[in-house]
Structure 1
Amino acid sequence: MSKNILLICGSGASSGFMAANMRKAAKKSGLDYKIKAKSEAELADYANDIDALMVGPHLKAEFDAIKDRVPSNVKVILMKPDYYSILDGQGAIDHLKSELG
């Protein structure tokens, strides 16, 4: 089953690299994940079309407010600095899979 995943960070730059690494890791694991990265300002344009939202760790202070901006059926996940800081796509995919169950 395909899942639409959106990553957001402040500007969309660091999450763009992370999304590319996650796409590679998902493909290697045989997962049908469609992974996009956008800036936090663009969230409203995509909120209704996603299954999960992964939020950059530097947006932790805004996390609850961001959660309120997406439908309740969207899984909202705060990315962990340990894999985000090194753009570890496999680490992010492992976290995503554990959250999605």
Structure 2
Amino acid sequence: MTKKNILLVCGGGASSGFLAQSMKKSAKTQGLLVTVEAVGDSEIEDYIDEKDVVLFGPHLRYMESELKETMSEFDSIPYDFIPDAYYGALDGEGTLNFALSLIAK
């Protein structure tokens, strides 16, 4: 299995940092090769290289048109907003599975 590189994006990076740790634990439990990085929305372009998927915190929906514009430069990379239920519960397994399903599309 090839390593999957996931980028989480939120406002400041704090809550997504906790979610990233939870996703890493879930990946380890499942025996998956995954890297997860969490960054603030102003840093997307600095971290997007080599990523397989980008997930945005649900609270960034107000920036959806800006984010679509930014992501249009990287049209081969799938992206979506993390479902509220996963984000609110810091559900690493659910978020990881969601990310992997986007990569598989």
CA distance in 2, matches of 1:68, 1:4: 21
Provide TM-score, normalisation by structure 2: 0.89
RMSD (Å) for aligned C-alpha atoms: 1.2
Q: Does 1:74 align with 2:74?
A: no
Q: Does 1:87 align with 2:87?
A: no
In structure 1, the residue corresponding to 2:70 is in which secondary structure?
coil
Corresponding residue for 2:60? 59
In structure 2, the residue corresponding to 1:50 is in which secondary structure?
coil
Provide TM-score, normalisation by structure 1: 0.92
> Unaligned stretches of 5+ in structure 2?
none
Count of aligned pairs: 101
> Unaligned stretches of 5+ in structure 1?
none
Distance 1:31-1:63 versus aligned 2 partners, 3 A rule: farther
Cα offset for 1:67? 2.9
In structure 1, the residue corresponding to 2:32 is in which secondary structure?
coil
CA distance in 1, matches of 2:23, 2:63: 23
CA distance in 1, matches of 2:5, 2:68: 17
**CA offset digits 1:29-88 (Å, max 9, x no partner):** 121111010111111101223111010000112123213213111111210000100101
CA distance in 2, matches of 1:72, 1:5: 16
1:1-101 to structure 2, matched below 5 A, reads 1-70=2-71, 71-101=74-104
Q: Is the 8 A contact 2:7 2:37 kept in 1?
A: yes
CA distance in 1, matches of 2:99, 2:69: 20
